[in-house]
Amino acid sequence: MTTGRATTIFYPESDGMPLPDGEYQAPLLNNTVSPLRVHFRDVEGAHTNGNTFLYYVEGDANVRVSPDCYVVFGLSEAALESLSMEGNNTYLLWEVGKPPDYVLEIASPSTARKDLGEKRDLYARIGVGEYWRYDQTGGNFYREPLVGERLVDGEYQRIEMRRESDGSVWGHSDALNLDLWWTDGELRYWDPVRSVWLLTHQQEKDARQEADAARHVAEARADSERNARLAAEARAARLEAELRRLRGE
């Protein structure tokens, strides 16, 4: 029997379970998501997050996926407010209005198989523009340290990856307009426009504190030099005055 009452669906932001391989993945998640948050924080319509439940079938709270890192561009103010709402850590595809433009998964013992198969197929199906996979070990889980794929006509095609003489592997993300580098197990983002490495929030904070400390040191040195110069000028003036006195001038 139908009562005609609308049913409110609750979409949990957590399943109450700890992050799979959390001790292994947690620091990698921070270093993966944080630089992008810093880089895109002032870009209008952009949103960056990670380890978030993404629901892609309206009305079914059991159908979801949790990207380790994602970035989405061109969002409306309403969509941004929904994603940034305090206490909300979910991504409802039908409310946001589009899938992420970029998703990255971090390899771990319990997730690698899904990242290479089930998740890859799902991201292509819902329209994620770029799908990247990062393996800190250099290939124990994904068979390669870093790989990017771009969605073309509903299927992923590999992005060209380059290997440097020191073993570093990198490729360019059109979605982010950044280069992704795997170097000695670390994932880093290079901004080819400004020719700088992206920093995490903590690295940015540390760099700002170092710059402030250096400025204070320089200012203190300048004050000291100015005081020494003024003292020397005053001493010279006193000596000149004493000489004039002795000469009877």
CA angle 143, 146, 151 (to 5 degrees): 105
pLDDT of residue 3: 44
Predicted TM-score of the model (pTM):
0.77
Residue-level pLDDT at 235:
85
CA–CA dist 65, 53 (Å, integer): 6
Low-confidence ranges of the chain (pLDDT < 70): 1-7, 14-26, 86-88, 201, 203-220, 222
Whole-number Å distance between alpha carbons of 172 and 191: 10
pLDDT at 89: 80
Query: What pLDDT, on a 0 to 100 scale, did the predictor assign at position 99?
Result: 97
End-to-end CA distance of the chain: 118
pLDDT of residue 155: 97
